[in-house]
């Protein structure tokens, strides 16, 4: 038992030492200049967020779906505004949280859709991904082809 206890104690001590030095570094670091993150409105999402929003565009919603989607948008908007005002978060943390809230919003909206609407959204996503893949292949330089030329 003693043979195992000593290496475990050393490992725990090392982990605690690393954690303590990391905390000291975080506490002694001067705060970075505050950048005000842009809270995007529904129509002006960042480019990386624009594609999923387009996946829902043009669907015919029922009145119940419209009400539920508006409630989802309002909740997300409130959460994003709270993140934007939080002075304890770094710009990177804010960006990550805003992206997370956007993804959660899309997931919640997707759950509101009917089976047919979900199929249409899935079709659009597959088409967008195929187009993105084709674009990446077109842009990628021809890297070391192993095919012999004749």
Tell me, what's the pLDDT at 95? 93
| Res. 20 pLDDT band, cuts 50 70 90 | low
User: 49, 65, 67: which is closest to 104 by C-alpha?
Assistant: 49
Tell me, what's the pLDDT at 94? 92
* Residues in CB range of 56: below 8 A, 6 or more apart: 106, 109, 121
CA–CA separation, 76 vs 82, rounded Å?
A: 10
Per residue in 52-106, pLDDT (tens digit) is: 557 888 889 999 999 999 999 999 999 999 999 999 999 999 999 999 999 999 9
| Res. 45 pLDDT band, cuts 50 70 90 | very low
CB 76 within 8 A of CB 104: yes
* Environment class of 109 (CB within 10 Å of its CB; exposed 0-12, middle 13-18, buried 19+): buried
């Amino acid at each position: 038992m003693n043979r195992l206890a000593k290496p475990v104690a050393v490992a725990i001590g090392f982990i605690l030492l690393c954690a303590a030095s990391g905390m000291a570094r975080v506490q002694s670091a001067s705060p970075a200049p505050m950048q005000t993150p842009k809270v995007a409105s529904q129509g002006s999402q960042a480019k990386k967020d624009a594609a999923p929003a387009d996946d829902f565009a043009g669907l015919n919603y029922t009145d119940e779906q419209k009400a539920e989607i508006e409630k989802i948008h309002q909740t997300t908007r409130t959460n994003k505004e709270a993140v934007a005002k939080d002075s304890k978060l770094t710009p990177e943390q804010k960006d990550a949280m805003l992206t997370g809230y956007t993804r959660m919003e899309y997931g919640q909206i997707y759950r509101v859709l009917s089976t047919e609407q979900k199929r249409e959204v899935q079709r659009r996503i597959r088409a967008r991904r195929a187009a993105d893949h084709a674009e990446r292949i077109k842009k990628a330089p021809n890297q070391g082809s192993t095919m012999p030329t004749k």
